[in-house]
Each structure stands twice: as structure tokens, then as C-alpha cells.
């Protein structure tokens, strides 16, 4: 069991309730990473489902839960032959923090009937770059849990040279060796700096809603995350991420809508 | 009040319940169109919200409701300064048919900070083509409610010449003159033939989950819907649609995951 497996553990209490303990290791600035929180929720949903994979997860981020105990409440709305439908809520101190609708099914990694390539080319790993380690007082604890190696232009914002377009691209893996699985994918779709940084925006950019689809079980090795946005307007922006595995298979797709930071 | 406004009416019964009547005019083959059903649900959600626009709607399609009376049950989970979060369920004969999480906010159509162009060019309207009228016995009643004029290659499947890629592109408007609004957008994101038809697949392709984001109030006139998919595998496919208004503004984005037809 890796530290990530432990940090996302969900212990069944009764028919509809799981106990979880939110790990401070996934703080980013102060709040806990949204992908990590989805992974915790999904542990409970999949444990309760007759199917193996979270094919669709739609999450509303209502509040920012703090590290420590919380519960996941499940309502399995329908169980069909191909898929099951669950509403799952992460609750802390009696207050709903994240509301989700999850569809579980079992993927077989069959040969695709049709498969498009990545939305953007990615240079080889050895030409990509890391962000410098954050200052300890910044509470960017999550940086120690994941390895992110960026396509250089999409880190231009860090040295005052943003590309001018909302985009972030990086190789991703858990820092502690671990094969990617559905829960690692939940982290991957929300692990990169907000795409708006490359468009010249800064500050905390809270996710309001994120939907992601798992498309196949990822092969061992690095994942590639290619994220971009189409529109920044009215204080809202979209962020689309596609995740490819080391075999070149599309394993996850996500879109979130978030608020532009003010800081 | 247009026929569409009437067909999507939601009448408040009490704090958390709205009565609706599902209109047979939106049948496609037999089942009712998913976009129409979302429009009905959203009438209730927005009526109940202090905000004007459904900025995010995530819907799980559990069952195919039939024309006739149904109810919408609301649970306003949180109401903040910028956005409200509602869970809304369409129920017929006591059975949940569609489960949604909706985020409402008020968009102002401010000048965008960043705006990308359409994912694919679109020929002018006069170079686009319509599908022939369906046979009355096919129950494609919805075809009478909307005007769809297609980018010719994306209708190639109809004459046995699919492009080989999952894609559909069309100009869209309600057949009865009506300015597009959030409810018309809900229809627009799910009004086109499934993108997999262009990839050589046929048959009923039921939506399992669809999330869409409203990005701006559309200007009067035709909408342009550009839809495509990335992967067809394991019996699942994704369909991404972007909706542009007559002023060239991105007004909606959606992604659905659906089952490949067997018929």
C-alpha cells in the first residue's frame, strides 16, 4: 500500500457511509487539491459498486474541506447491466463539501474503433522542466507527492513570459512509485497549475465544477497531461485536460469551470 | 410565449417541487431528446435560484421518460454570493429519470479577457444542407421543432460516405422564431445526430452522462454547433460540442459520454 493509497482510504461504516481522513500532504497553499478529494470520494463509490471503474465523475466544489476526518455519503440511484449511477457527497462537520454524480462501469481496454491523437504535441521528457521547490511556508505540500515535468513554454509565466494562451502541459506521476490507476487519474486531471497562468492571470483559481471521464486503464509509467482553455470571461474560465498513458492511449478527459484568481 | 417555452414550462408546486409536462414533440425515434429534458429541468432550477443562468449542468440519464406529466425535485445545496448549487431530479411515476447537479450564476457578457476561435471552420449557411424530412412513422417528431443545416461532409454518412471521423457540424435554430436563451442552448448541445455516425457507426446512441457550461447569453440569430469525438472504445464514445452565436461568441460547451449504438 502506497502513501497515496493510504491517504485516499475509505472505510465502510454502514450501507451508505464511509469514513475518510483527509491528508494535509495534499494541501496546495492551504486548500486541499480537488483531484485528491475526488480520489477519496471515488474510493468509496467504486468499493460500493459492482463495477470497477469510475467512467464518469461530475463534481461540484461547494466548500474547501480541511485536513482531518470526513465522511462520504452514498446514494446508489440505479444499478444497470452495464453501468451504475451513484450520488456521493463528501461531508465534514455535518456540512457538504463536494457533491458528485458518478457513473461506474467496467472498461476492458479493448482495441479502439476510433482513436484521435493528442490535441498538442509534447516534447520528450528530457527536454521538459520542473518548477523549483516551493518555500516550506507556502504549504504547497502536494508538490512532494507528485512529479510534474513541464513542456517549457507552458511554464513561461513563472519567469514573467506567459505564452498568452491558457495552456499547461506536463508529464505526471506519483512521486512514490505506483502504477497509475483510476484514483491517480482523478489526481492527474486537476494536478497542473491553472491554464490561465499562461494567459497572464495569477492567484488562486478555485474549481467550481469539474467533470472527468475515465476511458481506459492506464499502462504503467508516466502520464502525459495536456490542458488548455477556450474562454476567459466574466470571471470564469474553462480548463480541458486530456491524459495519455505511456502506451499512447487516451485514458482520461476532463473539463472544469473555475473562477479567475484575484490575488 | 413560443411552443418551446410552453413545452418546457415548470410550475412551482411547493418549496422543492415543480410540475412539468413532457411534450411528445421532442421524441426522437421514441425516447425524448436529452437536451429538451435538460431544458425542462433547468426551467425549474433557474426559477428557484437567485441567479439567472445555468453556468454548469451535469446530467446522468438514468431512464428514458415518456411524454406526459412528470415532476422536478430540487435540493438547493448551497447559495453563495457568486453562484448557487442545486441538485435537481426529473421524476416520473415515482422513478428518477435524470439526475443533475446545476450551478447557477449571472453572466454579464463582458468583453472576454481571452477568447479562442471555433475548433473547426464552418462554411457559410448557403453552402450547408438539410436532412430530408423523416418518415412520419419514424417518430422523429423533434425534427419539426428545430432547423438544422449541416456542413455537407458531416452528413456523408447519410449517403453511405462517412468521413471516418466522429464529427457533426450544423447551424441550429428553433423552427418557431425565438431568440436563443439558456434553454435553447440546452437543446443545441444535444440536437445533432451522434458524432459516431460520421465514423461509420449507426443505431441509437444513448447519452449516459452530459455536462455543459453556459458561457454567455447568445445574440439573436442562428447558432453554430461544432461537435467532435476523440475515442470510440469499449462501447463508449465521447462527444464534445461547442456552440457559437451569430456574433461569433462562444456561448456553450458540452461533453457527453454515450454508448455506441447496436442497431
Q: Is the confidence at residue B263, as pLDDT, over 70?
A: no
Give the residue on B whose Cα is nearest the Cα of A55.
B257
* Max CA pair span of chain A: 53
Q: Do A114 and B165 touch (CB under 8 A)?
A: yes
Q: Do A101 and B96 touch (CB under 8 A)?
A: no
pLDDT at A262: 67
Phi, psi of A36 (to 5 degrees): -60, -45
Q: Do B233 and A166 touch (CB under 8 A)?
A: no
pLDDT at A123: 98
For residue B199, what is its C-alpha cell? 465514423
Candidates A99, A232, A259; nearest CB to B77: A99
pLDDT at B151: 98
pLDDT at A64: 96
Question: How many percent of chain A have pLDDT more than 90?
Answer: 94
Smallest Cα distance from A261 to chain B, Å: 13
pLDDT bin (cut points 50, 70, 90) of residue A138 is: confident
pLDDT bin (cut points 50, 70, 90) of residue B262 is: low
pLDDT, tens digit, 9 for 90 and up, residues B65-113: 999 999 999 999 999 999 999 999 999 999 999 999 999 999 999 999 9
B81 touches chain A (CB under 8 A): no
Distance CA A90, CA B176 (A): 44
Distance CA A104, CA A102 (A): 6
Stated pTM of the model: 0.97
pLDDT, tens digit, 9 for 90 and up, residues B134-144: 888 888 899 99
Distance CA A126, CA A223 (A): 15
Cβ contacts of B96 on chain A, cutoff 8 Å: 77-78
pLDDT bin (cut points 50, 70, 90) of residue A152 is: very high
Rg of the Cα atoms in chain A = 18
Q: Is the confidence at residue A99, as pLDDT, over 60?
A: yes
Average pLDDT, rounded, for chain B: 96
Q: Do A213 and B255 touch (CB under 8 A)?
A: yes
pLDDT, tens digit, 9 for 90 and up, residues A246-263: 999 999 999 999 999 865
Mutation target for A interface from B62, B86, B101, B117: give the one with most A CBs within 10 A.
B101
pLDDT, average across residues A60-77: 98
CB pairs under 8 A between A and B: 177
pLDDT, average across residues B32-40: 98
Distance CA B80, CA B49 (A): 11
pLDDT at B30: 87
Candidates B55, B209, B242; nearest CB to A236: B55
pLDDT, tens digit, 9 for 90 and up, residues A197-247: 999 999 889 999 999 999 999 999 999 999 999 999 999 999 999 999 999
Smallest Cα distance from B3 to chain A, Å: 32
Phi, psi of B213 (to 5 degrees): -120, 130
Cβ contacts of B114 on chain A, cutoff 8 Å: 165-166, 196, 199, 229, 231-233, 237
Smallest Cα distance from B212 to chain A, Å: 10
A70 touches chain B (CB under 8 A): no
pLDDT at B261: 81
Residues 123-182, chain B, touching A (beta carbon < 8 A)? 165-166
Candidates B196, B213, B231; nearest CB to A112: B231
Cβ contacts of B216 on chain A, cutoff 8 Å: 233-234
B110 touches chain A (CB under 8 A): yes
What is the secondary structure of chain A as a DSSP string? --HHHHHT-EEEEETTEEEEEE-GGGBSSSSBPHHHHHHHHHHHHHHHSSSSEEEEEEEEE-S-PPSEEEEEEEEEEEE-SS-EEEEEEEEETTEEEEEEEEEEE----PPPSEE---SS----GGG-BPPPPPPGGGT-GGGGTEEEEE-GGGGGGGGT---SS-EEEEEEEESS-----HHHHHHHTT-SPPGGGGGT--S---EEEEEEEE-SPPPSS-EEEEEE-SEEETTEEEEEEEEE-TTS-EEEEEEEEEEPP--
Q: How far is CA A98 from CA B5, B47, B93, B126, in A?
A: 33, 24, 30, 47
Q: How far is CA B179 from CA B184, B188, B224, in A?
A: 8, 13, 14
At B45 the three-state DSSP class reads helix
A211 touches chain B (CB under 8 A): yes
Candidates A56, A87, A108; nearest CB to B257: A56
pLDDT, tens digit, 9 for 90 and up, residues A165-179: 999 999 999 999 999
B114 touches chain A (CB under 8 A): yes
Candidates A208, A242, A255; nearest CB to B211: A255
Q: Do B236 and A253 touch (CB under 8 A)?
A: no
Amino acid at each position: 500500500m502506497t502513501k497515496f493509497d493510504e491517504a485516499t482510504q475509505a472505510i465502510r461504516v454502514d450501507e451508505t457511509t464511509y469514513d475518510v481522513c483527509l491528508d494535509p500532504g495534499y494541501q496546495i497553499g492551504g486548500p486541499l487539491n480537488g483531484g485528491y478529494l475526488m480520489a477519496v470520494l471515488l474510493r468509496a463509490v467504486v468499493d460500493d459498486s459492482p463495477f470497477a471503474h469510475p467512467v464518469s465523475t461530475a463534481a461540484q466544489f461547494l466548500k474547501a474541506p480541511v485536513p482531518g476526518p470526513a465522511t462520504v455519503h452514498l446514494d446508489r440511484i440505479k444499478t444497470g447491466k452495464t453501468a451504475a449511477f451513484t450520488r456521493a457527497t463528501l461531508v465534514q462537520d455535518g456540512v457538504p463539501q463536494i457533491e458528485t454524480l458518478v457513473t461506474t462501469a467496467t472498461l476492458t481496454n479493448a482495441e479502439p474503433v476510433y482513436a484521435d491523437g493528442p490535441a498538442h504535441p509534447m516534447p520528450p521528457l528530457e527536454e521538459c522542466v520542473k518548477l523549483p521547490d516551493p518555500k516550506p511556508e507556502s504549504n504547497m505540500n502536494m508538490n512532494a507527492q507528485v512529479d510534474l515535468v513541464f513542456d517549457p513554454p507552458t511554464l513561461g509565466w513563472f519567469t514573467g513570459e506567459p505564452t498568452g494562451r491558457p495552456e499547461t502541459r506536463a508529464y505526471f506521476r506519483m512521486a512514490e512509485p505506483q502504477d497509475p490507476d483510476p484514483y491517480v487519474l482523478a489526481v492527474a486531471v486537476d494536478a497542473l497549475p491553472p491554464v490561465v497562468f499562461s494567459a497572464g492571470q495569477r492567484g488562486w483559481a478555485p474549481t467550481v465544477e469539474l467533470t472527468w471521464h475515465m476511458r481506459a486503464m492506464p499502462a504503467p509509467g508516466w502520464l502525459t497531461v495536456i490542458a488548455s482553455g477556450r474562454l476567459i470571461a466574466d470571471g470564469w474560465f474553462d480548463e480541458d485536460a486530456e491524459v495519455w498513458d505511456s502506451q499512447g492511449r487516451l485514458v482520461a478527459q476532463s473539463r472544469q469551470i473555475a473562477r479567475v484568481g484575484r490575488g
